[in-house]
Amino acid sequence: MSLRDYLFHEEPGITLYCGDAREVLRHLEPESVQCVVTSPPYWGLRDYGVDGQLGLEPSPDKYRLALAGIFSQVMRALREDGT
């Protein structure tokens, strides 16, 4: 899949992507994003019936490591003036 596959909304100056952060983030250029909004699921709270979904790791520590991996990609993609 390409980044266009995750496109949710686009207008001048605004592009919104929707998808699994682990997939979408890997397509973004370094320092190309001004704002990231995310709402990761709590560990062990919900099963959305999706293989490999975030939040169903076998332990809280593995969940924490999964989130750390995601936020490392967020920091890679976020501009210096980003939020």
Quick: pLDDT tens for 12-58: 999 999 989 999 999 999 999 999 988 899 999 999 998 999 999 99
Beta strands in 1-83 (DSSP E): 7-11, 14-17
The Cα-based distances of 80 to 3, 33, 75 in angstroms read 22, 9, 9
State the amino acid at position 3 in one-letter form: L
The predicted pLDDT at position 38 comes to 85
> In this predicted structure, what is the pLDDT of residue 37?
87
- Reading the block at residue 11, the tokens are 């207008």
- Across the range 54-80, mean pLDDT stands at 97
Question: Is 6 a residue whose pLDDT tops 90?
Answer: yes
Q: Which of 57, 18, 15 is nearest to 35 (CA)?
A: 15
Residue 79 has what pLDDT?
96
